[in-house]
Structure 1
Amino acid sequence: MTAARARFRDLVAAEWIKLWSLRSTGWILGVGALVVIGINVNSARSNADLLEHQPATSPDGAFQVDPMHAAFVDPAYQILVVVAAAVGAITVFGEYTSGLIRTTFAAVPDRRAVLVAKAAVVAAVMFVLGAVVAAASFGATQAVLSDTIGLPIGAPGALRAVVASALLAPLCALVGMALGALIRHAAGTVVASLVTLLLLPSLFAGDTYRWAKEIGNAMPLTAWQALVENPAMDYPPGRYPVTVAEAWTVFAVWPLVAAVVAVVVVHRRDV
């Protein structure tokens, strides 16, 4: 008699249990979220103090402080990138290093279904984390700046910045999953994630050569920076800037490719 095919919702439930059975998951997500929000709020407090206490330096008596930047500070979201990629990666290589993956595939031979369920759970959890961090960062920082230059959510570019920041977490988590499936080693996966998501955008940030700049524009962190930029501020565009449409394309392509890579690699390689 052929065993009944596992229902997808059962696979999702199993992956949910496995994710939260790691005691470190809650701590990593909670502490990571607080650190990111704290850095952004501290940035807003510094800007508010600058506006209130220091003498004016421009002819019209106003500092050129970007309230949007206070809510989405680069170092803060680089930490979020690391947290998201690490959580995504550990859901794959953690099972390989512990040997649990053999039990999983013995119970459910359809490896592709298992990986799709895993990707769905990771993406959902990290999207909630990203949404909480982005909304809290924007709300708290603009409250701090409310007496001076605070922005409402309806301001040009504000909602776009919050949505992009929320989506950055699941994107990076799925990239971490794909690298975990390819490498299957904790240290190697973490290093590969850092290189891919943080180092490469810096290496290709210069605009001397167009081909190099276009590679940099295709990186998730570069796309995120373009999406959280305040359109009300008069920033010099530089050479070969990434457009908003291109940035959203990057946000769509990277997680899709990462999920496909993870599914294909795990399906074809031996345990």
Structure 2
Amino acid sequence: MTTPPTYAVASAVSPSADPRARFHDLLAAEWIKLRSLRSTWIAYGATALAVIAFNVGTAYDTYTYWPARGAADRADFVRAGIPLQEAFTANAAMVMMLALAAIGAVAITAEYSTGTIRTTFAAVPARRSVMAAKTAVVAAVATVFGALVAGASFGLTQAILDERGAGVSIGHPGAWRVVTASALLAPVAALTGMAIGSLIRHTSATMVGAVVLLLVLPLAFTDGRHWSAVAGHATLFQAWSRLVEVGAPRTEFPWTTGGAWTAYALWALAAAALAITSAHRRDQ
């Protein structure tokens, strides 16, 4: 009698789904993207030199023309808070805002212009997670950059002024606020550039939008009317100006440093939320 052949029955094993990308892996990927671009470091380096040069140049002018100042002018120099004004000037703040907004914008518009964003979203369909990682990396690098530039500007300017006996230390009233506000101007501007870039997705148009939003808009509001003053206080540049101001504000509608810090926080949160959510709501 013939024995029927025995067949081995293979158990049906469902293929395991691909593991979802962990957030720290996305952070590492975005960091690799950022640091592998030589243009990124050139942009950061050029911005740092420009910002520090504006501040140091102002302090050096004071050093050069110090002997021409009268005795009363010299005595009021520190009392009026001028050393802190020269630690980080308005021109330097404008340069930092525009440059960091451009760097933040390019972090997203470059991927859209080259089409690599499609590859990124194909590899990681969780678009919000990708954009959150990109936002976190850009904000972290910009914060470190801002801290280094603001700290270097303060140290160099006060060292120059100290040669005339007019410099102040970091423990001077208001000094920490000036340095911190100037340092945090970098990440907030970078996040703003990212938010505009995520909406417009074209580099040149994004730059125009950043100039209008960060520089032109604050100039459109005056302190002559209450509504205009309040709207102006909500802009990023005027918030920075209030934080680096020494003493009580000399305006008809003054506001507090707490209000300026609130404006900083709202700008950062709104920009980050917009950058993270915009990619999820639009096709590529």
Provide the TM-score with structure 1 as the length reference: 0.94
Kept in 1: contact 2:188–2:268 (CA 8 A): yes
Offset at residue 159 of structure 1 (A):
0.5
Partner SS, residue 65 of structure 2: helix
Give 3-state SS (helix, strand or coil) of 1:48's partner.
helix
State the Cα deviation string for residues 139-182 of structure 1 (Å, max 9, x = none). Answer: 11011111321111011110011111111000000000000000
Q: Is the contact made by 1:130 and 1:165 (CA closer than 8 Å) also made in structure 2?
A: yes
User: Does 2:262 correspond to 1:249?
Assistant: yes
| 1:56 partnered with 2:70 | yes
Say whether 1:93 aligns with 2:121: no
Distance 2:17 2:219 in 1: 53
- Following superposition, the deviation at residue 185 of structure 1 comes to 0.5
Tell me the distance in 2 between the aligned counterparts of 1:133 and 1:236: 26
Q: Which of residues 25, 48, 72 in structure 1 aligns to 2:88?
A: 72
Of 60, 73, 87, the residue aligned with 1:45 is 60
Aligned twin of 1:144: 160
Q: Does 1:155 align with 2:172?
A: yes
CA change 1:225–1:101 in 2 (3 A) is same
Q: Name the amino acid aligned to 2:17.
A: T
Shift of 1:62: 4.0
C-alpha root-mean-square deviation of aligned residues, in Å?
1.5
1:54-101 CA-partner distances (Å, limit 9, x unpaired): 14174x764647111111111111111111101110111111110000
DSSP 3-state at the match of 1:145: helix
The answer as to whether partners of 2:226 and 2:253 remain within 8 angstroms in 1 is: yes
Match of 2:151 among 135, 145, 149: 135
In structure 2, the partner of 1:18 is 33
Unaligned runs of at least 5 residues, structure 2: 1-15
Give the conservation status (yes or no) of the 8 Å contact 2:249–2:255: no
**Counterpart amino acid of residue 116 in structure 1:** A
Aligned pairs, number: 265
Letter in 2 for 1:87: I
Residue of structure 2 equivalent to 1:263: 276
Query: What SS class does the counterpart of residue 230 from structure 1 fall into?
Result: coil
Instruction: Trace 1:125-204 onto structure 2 (pairs within 5 A).
Output: 125-146=141-162, 147-204=164-221
- The structure having more radius of gyration, on CA atoms, is 2
Quote the Cα distance in structure 2 between the aligned partners of 1:29 and 1:128.
11
Cα deviation for residue 22 of structure 1 reads 2.1
Equivalent in the alignment of 1:36: 51
What per-residue deviation string (whole Å, max 9, x for no partner) do you get for residues 175-222 of structure 1?
A: 000000000001110000111111111111x21211111111001111
8 Å Cα contact 1:37-1:133 kept in structure 2: yes
Structure 1 counterpart of 2:122, from 106, 110, 120: 106
Q: CA deviation at 1:50?
A: 2.3
Residues 1:219 and 1:38: Cα distance change in structure 2 (over 3 Å): same
Which residue is 1:229 aligned to? 245
- The answer for unaligned runs of 5 or more in structure 1 is none
Mean CA deviation greater in 237-246 or 177-186: 237-246
Whole-Å separation in 2 of the counterparts to 1:121 and 1:37: 24
The offset of 1:34, in angstroms, is 1.0
TM-score, reference length from structure 2: 0.90
Q: Mean alpha-carbon deviation: is it higher for 236-245 or for 247-256?
A: 236-245
Aligned residue in 2 for 1:123: 139
**CA distance in 2: counterparts of 1:4 and 1:89, whole angstroms:** 31
- Given that 1:217 and 1:241 are in contact with CA atoms closer than 8 Å, whether structure 2 keeps it comes out as no
Inter-CA distance 131–236: structure 2 relative to 1 (3 Å threshold): closer
For residues 267 and 255 of structure 2, the distance between their equivalents in structure 1, rounded to whole angstroms, comes to 16
How far 1:49 sits from its partner (Å)?
2.0
Q: Aligned partners of 1:134, 1:241: CA distance in 2, in Å? A: 26
